Amino acid sequence: MNDQPQSFKWIGTRSVRPDGVDKVTGRATFGADHAMPGMLVGRILRSPHAHARIRSINTDRAMALAGVKAVATAADFPEIPSEAAGSGGEGGEDFRQMSDNVMARNKALYDGHAVAAVAATSAAIAEQALGLIDVDYEVLAHVIEIGEAMADDAPLLHEGLITKGVDPKPSKASNVAKRFEFALGDLDAGFAAADVVIEKDFTTQQVHQGYIEPHAAIASAGGDGQALIWCSSQGQFMVRAYSAKLLGMDIADIRVIPAEIGGGFGGKTTVYLEPVALMLSKKAGRPVKITMTRDEVFRGTGPTSASEMRVKIGATKDGRITAADATFHYQAGAYPGSPVQLGCMTAFAPYDLENVRTVGYDVLVNRPKAAAYRAPGAPMASFAAESVIDMMAEELGIDPVAFRMMNAAKEGTKAAYGPKFRAIGYEETLQAVIDHPHYQAPLGENQGRGVASGFWFNIGGQSAAAVNINEDGTAVVISGTPDIGGSRASLALMAAEVLGIDVERIRPIIADTSAIGYNDMTGGSRVTFSIGMAVHQAAGAVVEQLRQRAAALWDIPLEDVTWQDGQAVAAGEKAAEHEPLSLAAIAAKAGKTGGPITGNASINAQGAGPGFGTHVCDVEVDPDTGRVTVLRYTVVQDAGRAIHPSYVEGQMQGGAAQGVGWALNEEYIYNDQGQLENPGFLDYRMPVASDLPMIDTVIVEVPNPRHPFGVRGVGEVPIIPPLAAVANAVKNAVGLRMTDLPISPPRLLAALEENG
């Protein structure tokens, strides 16, 4: 859907993915595919306890084992003061806590916490060596759930942790790291003006990003102090900066080469293995490779938070929301840093509200530290808010999409978290749902339809790009952010649009940290927006040089040369004397007109366009088993401008699929000892192809006026509405409101039996 006239040759086309052939033929190299001469195998010893003081670690027996070349513990890493670590992605971290998470110092804070590592000549020897490391633990009381962690007598993970964001400042330590609040208007007056007020509690469970490729890294520390890291991550510059900090090295002494990445979804925006592999390599004097097992991925990396939430909404009889209030408690894991602040900021953002407040609490528990997961914090908050929105629409007897339209945010709406929206496309997504045949399709017995909306900010950030013209007129586009969702294709299309040449004559590559300027991570839905802006500028600089070269060849003023459809065209009085010069023709003579033709751009991109989406979900519930089958699913989203529609659609479908899994089956399950009982894809139930219908997509295009091609980020919005869309559909199918996720068969069946 696009009310704007199409005026592009390449933008909006569906070119072949540059990396597609290598990936489908198995030639692409991922993190675990790389090897180096003399390489050792690294393995990590992990705590079996949810909470334990480490009295001592004795590695003598492990080091004495033939074939073991190095052993590392926290004692080998420098102690780092507390200092914020900018991630360039979807949330910052603290370096001290990051160091403690990479290798436990003093206490193990969750089942799976790394406590030691070995490097040996074979995997078998490395595994044997782990069994020879003697760790003396003092097992401590642990706490797994939010409510228990917030109790006055709860076991403390960090004895010196004082809650931030509370006035007056508490004098007693607790497991609540921080309180957040965002407010607008007069909440009391808003609820007093309401004819109907609905308040409800909700919970969601901890879920993992579920990327197919486990974390993997190989590190080689040279005798000259220089180090090389090859790894799968969402940002090679992040890996370089974090590894340097944790090992006390200069950034210039580390080169990080990005491998292809088999999924990340926010879960690879920090380090786990890379500093450990590098430390082992420094000690052993040989390259060290560490690859996580699936068990380690679940136990030792960051899932997203579980949540406990309360939402209260008031509205008039005619359907105008007068006030909205929410309180969110999110699990941070063992260290502060849940995405609860983002949940507070996004929960009610789709709506034009005069009176609104959100309060959030960052709560520590004995679980792995939470990491980003695709629109971190927003899906949970949206589940609660959009469920109550549906409840209110039902109470008032108003169609749920019409109710959302009546209260929709639009250009000029002031969000509770601060800014006024510029041009946005939320109303357009709602209208597209109303116009879609899915929304009016008939339903059968035990079938229901749910709708929900979602919002994500999208970000810009620091980006560097280069465009180099080869002697034959082909071009190389260089960027520094790993390609997760097809960004190389999008960058090539944007460069082709500016240069005016066939996209097949452009080769996009992802450079290592020594070959391109600094880039923030692939995260926050920033890459096509921010890197695209840098590529646009770099390609524009190339066009200026091409005009200059043509002017020199023709001996005419620069202002008499235009660039049209990939060639220099003469204008002015002598236009008829000169035939157009193609890019290839100018490139062939570059040596005679000034040398290589290159363009570079380094920016801190501003003006990211907020993204909105609305989803429609049909389900069928088996009342005898509690099984929910998704029958039909439609995703509608404002992409600003779909640079490569196929990859935009893929992002929309992928987010919906992950959200459906979150809504229906996925959860971390812990036993009484605080140990994870389902650390694998057999017991952690992610949706597979047979669980899902073909997910329909509708791309709405309301161009972002602050981007040269109108781009908005698209990767995170589609995971936000599904939790509520599925829950609302289940409610409409069986008349029962499920407020606790996942709506798994045992949980739904028990609720159905309890409610008759």
**CATH number of the domain to which 390 belongs:** 3.30.365.10
Instruction: State the CATH number of the domain containing residue 259.
Output: 3.90.1170.50
> In this structure, what are the phi and psi dihedrals at residue 122, rounded to the nearest 5 degrees?
-150, 160
pLDDT tens digits for range 537-563:
999 999 999 999 999 999 999 999 999
Rounded distance between C-alpha atoms, residue 753 and residue 737, angstroms: 14
User: Is 587 part of a structural domain of the chain?
Assistant: yes
- Could you tell me if residue 289 is inside a domain? yes
Assigned token pair, 151: 């109790």
Residue 80 domain flag: yes
Statement: residue 438 has pLDDT above 80? yes
Tell me which H or E stretch contains 448: strand 447-456
Say if residue 518 is in the same domain as residue 546: yes
Q: Are residues 484 and 594 in the same domain?
A: yes
- Model confidence pLDDT, tens digit, residues 277-321: 999 999 999 999 999 999 999 999 999 999 999 999 999 999 999
Angle, helix 645-664 to helix 722-734, in steps of 10 degrees? 50
Domain count, the chain: 3
| Radius of gyration in angstroms for the set of CA atoms belonging to the chain, rounded to a whole number | 27
Instruction: Dig out the tokens for 302 from the structure.
Output: 């960051």
Which token pair is 494? Answer: 């944007």
Q: Residue 489 domain-assigned?
A: yes
Residue 376, both tokens: 């971190």
- The sign one gets for the Cα dihedral 648, 653, 658, 662 is positive
pTM for this prediction: 0.97
- Residues 312-333: tens digit of each pLDDT: 999 999 999 999 999 999 999 9
pLDDT at 2 over 50: no
Longest dimension (CA), the chain: 89
Structure tokens at 726: 């599925």
Residues 351 and 495 reside in one and the same domain: no
The answer on pLDDT for 387 being more than 90 is yes
Q: How far apart (Å, rounded) are the C-alpha atoms in residues 178 and 188?
A: 25
Q: Could you write out the DSSP letters of every residue in 76-139?
A: GSPP----EE--SSS--EEHHHHHHHHS--SEE-STT-EEEEEEESSHHHHHHHHTT-EEEEEE
Residue 667 lies inside a defined structural domain of this protein: yes
pLDDT digits (tens, 9 = 90+) for 228-279: 999 999 999 999 999 999 999 999 999 999 999 999 999 999 999 999 999 9
Q: Is there a single domain that holds both residue 278 and residue 132?
A: yes
Can you give the pLDDT at residue 3? 44
pLDDT of 77 higher than 70: yes
Single-letter amino acid, residue 304 = T
Is 10 among the domain residues? no
Contact present, 424 and 409 (Cβ < 8 Å) = yes
Q: From start to end of 300-365, where are the E strands?
A: 307-315, 321-333, 356-364
pLDDT in tens, 651-708: 999 999 999 999 999 999 999 999 999 999 999 999 999 999 999 999 999 999 999 9
**Are 578 and 618 part of one and the same domain?**
no
Task: Sheet with 227-231: list strands edge to edge.
Answer: 68-72, 114-120, 40-46, 288-291, 216-221, 227-231, 254-258
- Confidence tier at 90 by pLDDT (50, 70, 90): low
Are the C-beta atoms of residues 495 and 535 closer than 8 Å to each other?
A: yes
Last residue of a domain, one of 580, 605, 630: 605
Q: What's the rounded Cα separation, in Å, for the pair 142 and 518?
A: 41
Distance CA 45, CA 131 (A): 8
Q: E strand or H helix at 612, and its extent?
A: strand 611-621
Query: Quick one: pLDDT at residue 91?
Result: 57
Average pLDDT across the chain, whole number:
96
Q: Could you tell me if residue 121 is inside a domain?
A: yes
- Whether 74 and 105 share a structural domain: yes
Is residue 631 located within the same domain as residue 745? yes
Q: pLDDT value at position 506?
A: 98
| Rounded distance between C-alpha atoms, residue 636 and residue 500, angstroms | 31
With 80 as the cut, is the pLDDT of residue 89 above it? no
> What SS3 state is found at 329?
strand
Residues 95 and 46 occupy one common structural domain: yes
b/e sequence 371-395, b meaning 16+ C-beta within 10 Å: bbbbbbbbbbbbbbbbbbbbbbbbe
Dump pLDDT digits (tens) for 617-626.
999 999 999 9
Q: How would residue 575 be classed by pLDDT, with cut points 50, 70 and 90?
A: confident
Same domain (yes/no): 437, 516: no
Q: Are 601 and 541 in contact (CB under 8 A)?
A: yes
User: Are residues 241 and 288 both part of a single domain?
Assistant: yes
701 is an active site residue: no
What is the rounded distance in angstroms from the CA atom of residue 251 to the CA atom of residue 256? 10
- 556 with 700, same domain? no
Residue 279 and residue 311 in one domain: no
Strands 40-46 and 288-291: parallel
Q: How far is CA 561 from the centre of its chain?
A: 44
What is the spatial distance between Cα 750 and Cα 755, in angstroms, rounded to a whole number? 9
Q: What is the mean pLDDT of residues 378-403?
A: 98
- Name which of 89-93, 141-145, 345-349 the model is least confident about: 89-93
Given 242, 277, 300, the domain boundary residue is 300
- Check residue 461 and give left, alpha or beta (phi > 0: left; psi -120 to 50: alpha): left
The answer to whether position 239 is within a domain reads yes
Given a cut of 90, is residue 86 above it in pLDDT?
no
Strands 597-605 and 611-621: unpaired
User: 595 pLDDT exceeds 50?
Assistant: yes
Structural domain for 82, as ranges: 34-140+212-263+268-300
The CA-CA-CA angle for residues 657, 264, 1, to 5°, reads 50
H or E element at residue 598? strand 597-605
Given 562, 586, 605, the domain boundary residue is 605
Catalytic annotation, pick one of 79, 716, 753, 754: 716
Residue 295 parent element (H or E): helix 294-300
Helix (H) or strand (E) run with residue 44 in it? strand 40-46
Helices and strands counted in the chain (H then E)? 21, 28
Question: Would you say 631 and 736 are in contact if contact means Cβ atoms under 8 Å apart?
Answer: no
pLDDT at 428: 98
| pLDDT greater than 70 at residue 6 | no
Find where tokens 């076991």 sit: 155
At 4 the pLDDT is 46
CA separation (Å) from 96 to 126, 165, 367? Answer: 28, 21, 18
